[in-house]
Structures are given as structure tokens and as C-alpha cells.
């Protein structure tokens, strides 16, 4: 385990500045056969405001953190984090959340999780006091969704990871 943390320390980091705002778009194909968040993974500093924007003209979406308070899901956000759920966002609607607790936040779109509409936000780095890494438990999450998540190492190395649909 410590080898992985040492490898992370050697990675170049591209993290949004504190008090910065990051936008995550909710997107889909014209006929709705594919849906996704863009970026799929993003690294930010603690206290960054994350704004989810539904830019999909044909679907409503949610931004819902994996947490027992949200539909009894397994917790996949830091213990000190406040769980979030946007409710259904119609095309053009937005939802904002400020992420203060350092660690890995996994989230999903409630109606499209099984289609792989998930995302990951990395707040801070493993060296940040109070950091909590990614959860590996997969019992209460769709396997296809979790397989779509980029690794923490990939997110920290590049600052953000875009899905193939948006590339």
C-alpha cells in the first residue's frame, strides 16, 4: 500500500486552486443511447465549488454521491464529507456543491448508473491531512458503473480525465 502512495507522490499534479469553480457537464447522445459526465474524473483542492450542469437536451440527470443517506448506497465519499443529491436536473439546470473534506468522491446519475454514468472527484492529494482514498467495496454499486471510474492516480496525473465520448 505504501508503494502506491509513494508512486502518487511522484506524479505531476494538476489540481484546481482553492475557491475555484469546476464545471462537470451531464451529456448524452442525440438519441439518448449513451450518457456521461464530462470530465469523468477531476482533481480539485479542498473548498472547490463543483457545478454540475445538465447540457443533455434529451434527458434529465442527477448528481448523487454514493452514501447510505442517498438511496441506502455504500459510502464512497470521505467520512467527513456531506453527502449530496441534486434531485432531477432538466436540460439547462445546474446544481452546486462545495467539497471541503479531502479524499475521493464517487457519484452517479440515479436513472443512468447502470449505463455507466458515474464520476470521480479527487479532493486534495494523499498528503493532505485527513485524506481518504477510494473505496474498493462494490456490493451496492453497479459493476459496469464502477468499471467506468478512472483511477485516482490517473486523475492526479492529468488533473482531469475525459470520457471517450467527449474526446
pLDDT band at 4 (very low <50, low <70, confident <90, very high): very low
CATH number at residue 13: 2.60.40.420
Domain of 80 in residue numbering reads as 2-166
Strand order in the sheet with 94-99: 35-38, 21-28, 48-54, 94-99
* In contact, 37 and 162? CB cutoff 8 Å: no
- Segment 79-114, tens digit of pLDDT: 999 999 999 999 999 999 999 999 999 999 999 999
Mean pLDDT of 58-74: 95
In angstroms, rounded to a whole number, what is the distance separating the alpha carbons of residues 65 and 39? 16
Residue 67, helix vs strand vs coil: coil
How many domains is the chain built from?
1
Q: How many CB atoms lie within 10 A of CB 70?
A: 18
- Please say if the pLDDT value at position 6 is more than 80: no
Please, what sign has the CA dihedral across residues 5, 6, 9, 11?
A: negative
Distances (CA, A) of 78 to 15, 38, 75, 128: 18, 22, 8, 13
Could you tell me which residue, 10 or 118, shows the higher pLDDT? 118
Amino acid at each position: 500500500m505504501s508503494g502506491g502512495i509513494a508512486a502518487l507522490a511522484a506524479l505531476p499534479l494538476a489540481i484546481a486552486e482553492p475557491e475555484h469553480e469546476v464545471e462537470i457537464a451531464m451529456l448524452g447522445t442525440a438519441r439518448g443511447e449513451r450518457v456521461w459526465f464530462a470530465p469523468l474524473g477531476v482533481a480539485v483542492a479542498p473548498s472547490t465549488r463543483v457545478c454540475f450542469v445538465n447540457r443533455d437536451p434529451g434527458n434529465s440527470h442527477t448528481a448523487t454521491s454514493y452514501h447510505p443517506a442517498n438511496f441506502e448506497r455504500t459510502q464512497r465519499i470521505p467520512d467527513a464529507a456531506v453527502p449530496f443529491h441534486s434531485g432531477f436536473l432538466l436540460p439547462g439546470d445546474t446544481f452546486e456543491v462545495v467539497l471541503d473534506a479531502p479524499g475521493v468522491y464517487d457519484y452517479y446519475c440515479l436513472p443512468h448508473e447502470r449505463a455507466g454514468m458515474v464520476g470521480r472527484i479527487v479532493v486534495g492529494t494523499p498528503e493532505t491531512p485527513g485524506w481518504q482514498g477510494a473505496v474498493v467495496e462494490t456490493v451496492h454499486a453497479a459493476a459496469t458503473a464502477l468499471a467506468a471510474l478512472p483511477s485516482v492516480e490517473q486523475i492526479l496525473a492529468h488533473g482531469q480525465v475525459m470520457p471517450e465520448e467527449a474526446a
